[in-house]
Amino acid sequence: MRIAVFNQKGGVGKTTTTLNLAAAVARDGGSPLLIDLDPQCHLSAIHGSSPQDSAHSLFGFYQDARTLKDLIVPWEGIGRLVPSHQQLIKVDSTFGKGPAILNKLRGGLDALDADNGGATVTLIDCCPYIGVLSLNAIFACDLLLIPVSTDYLSLQAAERMTQTLAILEPVVKRRIQRRYLLTRFDRRRRMSEDVRQRLLALYPDEVCATVISENVAVAESPSENRDVFSHNAASTGARDYAELRHELAGQGLLSQVASGGVKTSDPK
């Protein structure tokens, strides 16, 4: 299952969701692959080994035709990472927007699977704007997970996402499966519930029941180069991301770990 974590707005929890959902999968016996598709390199910085040479990052996949397998680095306790580099920002201006470049990540992941180097779950941390990189993720993914922090600007960004997907779906010739995830949810604030109700009215079958609460552990853990479970497994944030993994698995959108091993649900 390939999951792109994307919204056309920064600060909504894309990177923390990518990291902590991967950690939840790993704690349940999986070994996810994380791809840092953001030139800001936040996910790679949390990993703690952002490559100095862009050829050893995801940019090498685009610029130098290196395989994803060549670029993977281990991430203890979580799985594996294809790190980012600031040079990724050049992809939009360098390679145009033809079908070959827009489908490049999909092709790279297909090749990784064929080489038995793929993962049951791949999580892609996207940059917060529509361009070649985010389109690569959308074209490659089975599920688009859209974090929406509980403020009205994020709600507007979610509605813009719907408009964007309506334009893209005739191109990819399929409906892009998506889930909206409420983040930074504060039950003491009326606005949090207002945003949740608005999302439910707009997308009644596509809003995650799980919400990610405003939580100190979620906010602190990246500065410690940790996921929320490693930072504070008893925290509300750890509970929320464990519940999110369970919810998505129950809907057939994530791998299920059973007594006989890992069972992968058919995303179709």
Low-confidence ranges of the chain (pLDDT < 50): 256-268
Q: Provide the whole-model pTM.
A: 0.92
Q: What is the pLDDT of residues 217-235, one digit of tens each?
A: 999 999 999 999 999 999 9
The pLDDT > 90 percentage for the chain reads 78
pLDDT of residue 267: 37
Beta-strand pair 178-185/143-149 = parallel
Beta-strand pair 178-185/73-75 = unpaired
Number of alpha helices (DSSP H) and beta strands (DSSP E) in the chain: 13, 10
Residue 205 has which token pair?
A: 């079958």
92 Cβ partners below 8 Å, 6+ apart?
Answer: 131, 132, 133
pLDDT of residue 255: 64
Q: What is the pLDDT of residues 98-147, one digit of tens each?
A: 899 999 999 999 999 999 888 899 999 999 999 999 999 999 999 999 99
11: nearest Cα among 124, 151, 141:
151
